[in-house]
């Protein structure tokens, strides 16, 4: 296919403009970064801050221990994510039950979600992690078990609400069409409503997963030797805070793929909706 000289000229112009924008972007970023670095180094406390937070030697020394710690965070994260998803589906399904017979179930579920959406996670951690073992009823279990349980209890309250919103966003005619075919209530939920709800709430679920990724660091308050706790141990040995920064960076590295994936998926979903197709 031949392209007219006019169009070629237009393309050259657009390409030139695009190149220029890239260069302007890079240059302004570099200038800004330089200003920040220079500005920081001129502050009176900078030499002390640099040696206590940005000590490369300390970082290298703490690395193996903190890495081992984050492996515990990853295991807790994956376990609790699966359990939260499962429980949330059940809780949200229970909350959709209609009829007077199910009133107690609905009330119970509503009470549960209200309670744990309102209560700060750190307090749930203390109550579950120190309270339940103190009953003396359960065998001795590691701190990370109680930490996982506290995360599950708190996050299920949030995530089940996300699911419920998703179920309510499915058009009522879908339920009607399914029932008209003779599908039972349970089959309608499982085969028609939940799959559609899940698609609708995937971006919200991914966001919750990202915030769960950070909150797994809180199990350290129960004494679980995760990345945060490991960093604390290293810090107490050297009186240097660099290990905390190291642990923080590890959490960021862990989260970035999921954050990017969430952005990409949400953008794709939005594009599809703008094209007028039904998801």
Binding site for other proteins (CB under 8 A): 171, 173-174, 176-184, 187, 191-192, 195-196, 199, 277-279
Q: How many degrees, rounded to 5, is the angle at CA 92 between CA 86 and CA 94?
A: 105
CA-nearest of 179, 171, 158 to 116 is 158
Which structure tokens are listed for 30? 């570099």
- Output the smallest distance, CB 180 to other proteins, in A: 4
CA pseudo-torsion sign 227, 87, 256, 211: negative
| Nearer CB in complex with other proteins: 33/176 | 176
- What's the closest the beta carbon of residue 202 comes to other proteins, in angstroms? 12
In b/e form, how buried is each residue of 236-251, taking b as 16+ CB within 10 angstroms? eeeebbbbbbbbbebb
Q: Shortest Cβ distance from residue 265 to other proteins (Å)?
A: 16
Closest CB to other proteins among residues 34, 191 = 191
Nearer to other proteins, 169 or 253 (CB): 169
The answer to whether 221 and 126 have CB atoms below 8 angstroms apart is yes
- Measured from the CB atom, is 21 or 187 closer to other proteins? 187
C-beta of 19 vs 171, nearer to other proteins:
171
Residue among 146, 120, 134 at smallest CA distance from 222: 146
CB of 254 to other proteins, least distance (A): 31
Q: How far is the CB of 182 from other proteins (least distance, A)?
A: 3
């Amino acid at each position: 296919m031949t392209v007219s000289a006019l169009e070629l000229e237009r393309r050259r112009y657009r390409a030139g403009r695009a190149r220029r924008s890239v260069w302007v972007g890079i240059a302004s970023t570099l200038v800004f970064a330089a200003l920040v670095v220079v500005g920081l180094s001129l502050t009176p406390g900078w030499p002390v801050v640099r040696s206590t937070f940005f000590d490369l030697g300390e970082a290298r020394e703490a690395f193996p221990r903190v890495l081992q710690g984050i492996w515990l965070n990853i295991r807790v994260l994956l376990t609790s994510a699966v359990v939260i998803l499962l429980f949330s589906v059940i809780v949200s399904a229970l909350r959709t039950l209609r009829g007077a017979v199910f009133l107690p179930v609905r009330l119970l579920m509503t009470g549960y979600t209200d309670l744990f959406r309102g209560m700060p996670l750190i307090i749930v951690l203390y109550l579950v992690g120190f309270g339940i073992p103190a009953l003396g009823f359960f065998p001795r279990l590691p701190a990370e078990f109680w930490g996982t349980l506290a995360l599950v209890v708190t996050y299920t309250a949030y995530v089940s609400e996300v699911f419920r919103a998703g179920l309510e966003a499915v058009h009522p005619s879908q339920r009607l069409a399914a029932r008209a075919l003779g599908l039972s209530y349970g089959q309608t939920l499982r085969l028609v409503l939940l799959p559609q709800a899940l698609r609708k709430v995937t971006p919200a679920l991914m966001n919750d997963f990202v915030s769960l990724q950070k909150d797994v660091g809180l199990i350290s308050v129960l004494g679980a030797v995760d990345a945060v706790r490991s960093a604390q141990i290293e810090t107490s040995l050297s009186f240097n805070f660099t290990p905390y920064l190291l642990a923080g960076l590890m959490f960021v590295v862990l989260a970035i793929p999921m954050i990017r994936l969430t952005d990409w998926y949400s953008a794709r979903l939005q594009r599809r909706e703008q094209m007028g197709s039904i998801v």
